[in-house]
Amino acid sequence: MQLFQLQLSALVGLALWTSSVSALFPATNATKSAGQQACSQLSKQLGSKVASVAIDPSYIVSTTYYYSEQQAENKPSCVVAPTAYSDVQSAMKTIRQYNSTLAIKAGGHQTNNYWSSVAGGVLIDFKNMKSKSFTPGSTTGYFQPGNRWDDLYQYYAQFGMVPVGGRIGGVGSGLAIGGGLSFLSAEYGLACDQFTQLDVVLPDGSLVTATKDNQYSDLLLAIKGGGNQFGIVVGYTVQVYPQDPEVYGGLLIYGADQIDAVYDQVLNFTNQNTDPKAAVIATLDVIGLPSALDLVTYPVLKGLTTFIILFNVYNGPDGQPAFTQFEKIPHLLDTRKKQPYTAVASMVDIGHFSSGSVSYRAASHNSNTPTSAATLKAAIQNFQDFANTAHGTYDILSFDVQPVAASLVQQSRARGGNAQDSVDGPYYWINYLHSSLPGLYTGVPQALAELKTAVEKTPNNATLPIFLNDANADQPILQSYHAYDKLKAAKAKYDPQNYFSTHMGGPSFTN
C-alpha cells in the first residue's frame, strides 16, 4: 500500500513537473502534432470527455484494455469518450480539420494492430455509450456501441428475448460490423444480418440513418460485415428473438488421441446436420512455454499440452440427436447442461482479458467435395507440424473449425444480404490463433511468418469469404466478398477522400 502511495505521488509529481515545464515552454501549433492539435481543440469542445494525460484514469482504461497486447502499446494523443451522437460528430469534424489519425474502439478485441488503436492520434472509445432499449412486443431492439454482448444478453433476457451476437460475452459490439458468427447463426444468420437501422457518423462528421429502404441502403449493406471503413456506427437497431429461459450448452474436452475422430465428426456435422438450433466450434489447442523452459518440458509434456475443446450449444432443452456422435467419442470432460443463454456466453470467460500479443489468420474451405476430408486432415497436420517447430514462441496456439451451415447463408439472404454475399453453404471457416506474452518469447515474428506459410499450404477456396473477424490484416478479406464492387462504390460515396483508409486501421481495399 505504502509502495503504491509512493508510486502515485511520484507520478503526480512527474505530471505536475511536466505541466509546469510545458507551461514555461508551451508547445506552439507549429511544434504540436496533428493529433495533439486536434486533442487541444477537442478538450475545449468536449471538456472532461477528452483525456490527454497518461495518468488520467479514463486514459489508462481506454489505452490498456485490449485483448491483444500489441494494440495496448499504441498510445494516442488523447482519448475521446463520447456520450452523445453529437460528440462523435464534433470529434470527427475536428479530426478532419487537423488532419489527425484516429481509431474507433468498442470492446477492444480486434487482434490486428491499429484496427482499434492509434499511436499519437485520437482514439474514440465508446465505453460511455452503453444505452439500450426495447419495447415489449417489438421484434427489434436498440443499443449503442459501448455495450458488450454479455451486457446485451443480460438486458434482453429480462424481456425473454435475445440478440444475435458473440459466443463469448466479453467481446464488444464491433463483432457485428465484422459479420459476427453466433451460436444462433444457423437459425437467424450473422449478427450483422440483424441490422434494421444504423445511425452512422460519416467520415465528414455528418450523421445519417441507414435502413434497407432509404437512400443509405448501400451504406447499411457495406457495414453488414464490411468493417469500419465506411463510417462510425453510433446506434444499432437490430432484430431480436424470443428466447427460452434455458438452452443446452457446454464443452466436451478430448485428448490429442481423438483428433481424427472429432474432426471427422465435425465435417459430418457441417454437411449433415439440418437442425439450425445446433451449433458447434471445435478448437484444437496447444499450450506452450517460453523457449528455455519449453526446451526441457516440451518433449515430456507434448501429448498433454494438446487437447480439443468442442463447444456444443443447442437453442432448446437438449442437444439430441444433433450432438450424439460427439459424445460417443471418448472424452475427458463433459460440461454440457441446461443453462441460461447468458451463462452459455460466459462458459469460457476469455473475453475479458488479454492472453498476450495475439495474431489471427483465417481460412475458408468447402466441406462437401470429394477432397474435403483430405483438406481438413492436411490443415490439421500442417498446424501440428507448425506447433512442433514453433514451440517456444507461443503460450497458446489454436485451430478453431467453425461450420457455416447452409441455413446460415439462407438466413443472411432472407434479411437482405450482407457484405460477404456468400455462395451457398455448407462450408467451414478456420480461425488460427498465435498468442505470446510480450517479453517472454523470442522468435515471434519469424513464427508468425511460418504460420502464414503453414496455413497457405491448404489454400482457401477462392469462392468462399475470408471471415473478417478471424482474418489477418494481410489477407484479401473484402476482396473475397462477392459484394466487393458494392463495397468499393460505398467507400467512394461515403469516404470520397479515402480518409479512413489513410488515417485509420481496418480492412484494406488494396490487399
Ligand X SMILES: Cc1cc2nc3c(=O)[nH]c(=O)nc-3n(C[C@H](O)[C@H](O)[C@H](O)COP(=O)(O)OP(=O)(O)OC[C@H]3O[C@@H](n4cnc5c(N)ncnc54)[C@H](O)[C@@H]3O)c2cc1C
Positions touching ligand X (CB under 6 A) are: 67, 104-110, 115-116, 145, 166-168, 171-175, 177-181, 228, 232-233, 350-351, 469, 506
* CA separation for the pair 280, 312 (Å, rounded): 5
Residue (315 or 469) nearer to ligand X, CB: 469
For cell 512442433, the residue is 388
Instruction: Quote the least distance from Cβ 165 to ligand X, whole Å.
Output: 8
Residue (186 or 258) nearer to ligand X, CB: 186
Instruction: Quote the least distance from Cβ 159 to ligand X, whole Å.
Output: 23
Residue (288 or 506) nearer to ligand X, CB: 506
Instruction: Quote the least distance from Cβ 483 to ligand X, whole Å.
Output: 18
Instruction: Give, in order, the Cα–Cα distances in Å from 388 to each of 58, 298, 392.
Output: 42, 9, 9
> Rg for the chain (alpha carbons), in Å?
23
For cell 453510433, the residue is 234
Does residue 426 have a cis bond before it (omega within 30 degrees)? yes
Residue (124 or 289) nearer to ligand X, CB: 124
* CA separation for the pair 286, 66 (Å, rounded): 23
CB 208 within 8 A of CB 216: yes
Query: For the stretch 73-84, what's the b/e string if a residue is b when 16 or more beta carbons lie within 10 angstroms of its beta carbon?
Result: ebebbbbbbbbe
Instruction: Quote the least distance from Cβ 169 to ligand X, whole Å.
Output: 9
Residue (108 or 288) nearer to ligand X, CB: 108
Residue (258 or 364) nearer to ligand X, CB: 364
Instruction: Quote the least distance from Cβ 197 to ligand X, whole Å.
Output: 14
Residue (190 or 322) nearer to ligand X, CB: 190
Q: Mind spelling out the 3-state secondary structure of 196-208?
A: EEEEEECCCCCEE
Cα-based angle 133, 416, 403 (whole degrees, multiple of 5):
90
Which strands sit side by side in the sheet containing 78-80, from one edge to the other? Answer: 50-51, 78-80, 122-125, 102-105
Instruction: Give, in order, the Cα–Cα distances in Å from 485 to each of 15, 202, 215, 418.
Output: 51, 20, 18, 13
Instruction: Quote the least distance from Cβ 110 to ligand X, whole Å.
Output: 3
Instruction: Quote the least distance from Cβ 101 to ligand X, whole Å.
Output: 13
Residue (192 or 380) nearer to ligand X, CB: 192
Instruction: Quote the least distance from Cβ 10 to ligand X, whole Å.
Output: 32
Residue (40 or 202) nearer to ligand X, CB: 202
CB 413 within 8 A of CB 476: no
E strand or H helix that includes residue 22: helix 2-24
**Strand blocks (E) in 37-114:** 50-51, 78-80, 102-105
* CA separation for the pair 148, 132 (Å, rounded): 11
Instruction: Quote the least distance from Cβ 267 to ligand X, whole Å.
Output: 21
